[in-house]
């Protein structure tokens, strides 16, 4: 799995961080998503998939 985030689309809701804190964080200056692990391990895939689904702006894109 590979993750792409579009910071231009991000609205800073932080739902991704709540779902997968090991993979995403919010930038302290602007509150927008920061990607920590662009290719997370298998044990994080369920949390990352949840983060993609609950992102209100659709800023997270997953690729197999």
pTM of the model: 0.94
| Number of domains making up the chain | 1
- The parent domain of residue 32 ranges over 2-63
pLDDT digit string, tens, across residues 8-43: 999 999 999 999 999 999 999 999 999 999 999 999
pLDDT on residue 64:
86
The CATH number of whichever domain residue 51 belongs to comes to 3.30.70.20
Long-range pairs, 15-23, Cβ under 8 A, ≥24:
15/51, 15/54, 15/55, 15/56, 16/51, 16/54, 16/55, 16/60, 19/47, 19/48, 19/50, 19/51, 19/54, 20/44, 20/47, 20/48, 20/50, 20/51, 22/47, 23/47, 23/48, 23/51
């Amino acid at each position: 799995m590979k993750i792409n985030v579009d910071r231009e689309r991000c609205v800073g809701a932080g739902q991704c961080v709540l779902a997968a804190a090991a993979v995403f964080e919010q930038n302290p200056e602007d509150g927008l998503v920061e990607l920590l692990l662009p290719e997370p391990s298998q044990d994080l895939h369920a949390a990352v998939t949840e983060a993609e689904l609950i992102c209100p702006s659709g800023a997270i894109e997953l690729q197999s």
